[in-house]
Chain A
Amino acid sequence: ETGVTQSPTHLIKTRGQQVTLRCSSQSGHNTVSWYQQALGQGPQFIFQYYREEENGRGNFPPRFSGLQFPNYSSELNVNALELDDSALYLCASSTGTGGYSGANVLTFGAGSRLTVL
């Protein structure tokens, strides 16, 4: 089975620009979540998509938005980039959401490293 793949792996943008990051979920997974990981810190939850709808959001402003497509792949869009947006953006996929038992482990991709100048 294929894992979670993300693109691009690295990119550089300038302040005020917009960026789109892409994620293909692991085969059989229908839930995608996005995390931001600043250098030397743990990942922070941005939002989660299940069946093409956002069903959870962390403490991020509206300029962070996303989409999930019928094949469960996903995009993260960030508008009006700021210097503090420089980070590793991790996508994770899993099966199902909420109210379940068992581990339901999140499988992470290797991330997209964004540098904002």
Chain B
Amino acid sequence: GQNIDQPTEMTATEGAIVQINCTYQTSGFNGLFWYQQHAGEAPTFLSYNVLDGLEEKGRFSSFLSRSKGYSYLLLKELQMKDSASYLCAVRNAGNMLTFGGGTRLMVKP
């Protein structure tokens, strides 16, 4: 089976750094994705990790440790528009994603 855990809610201040953690236990692993979803909108792709280590893309970075079943998404220089839900998802061999419950991030001035 698949089990993916991430915090339900987080709050951070504009300009700060926030780290959103994700732990997973899956029967198959073919990559880990992070998506951003604003209320009422489609999830949009942020990052992809399949090998251990850090992937950096502008203000966003994502880390993966396959041996620990652990990933995090790091958001730097937070902006108000970063207030959204962040979804961690693990892909199996058939390109099917299992999502965590999502972390709702609130950025305050």
Contact = CB atoms under 8 A, between A and B. Distances in A.
A94 B95 CA distance: 9
B95 A98 contact: yes
A49 B95 CA distance: 11
B95 A109 contact: no
B31 A103 contact: yes
Contact of A108 (B40, B42, B93): B42
Interface size bracket, B side:
20 to 34
A93 to B, nearest CB: 11
Interface stretch (B10-18, B43-51, B76-84): B43-51
Interface of B: 4, 31, 33, 35, 40-45, 48, 87, 89, 93-102
Interface of A: 4, 31, 33, 35, 40-45, 48, 55-56, 58, 90, 94, 96-100, 103-111
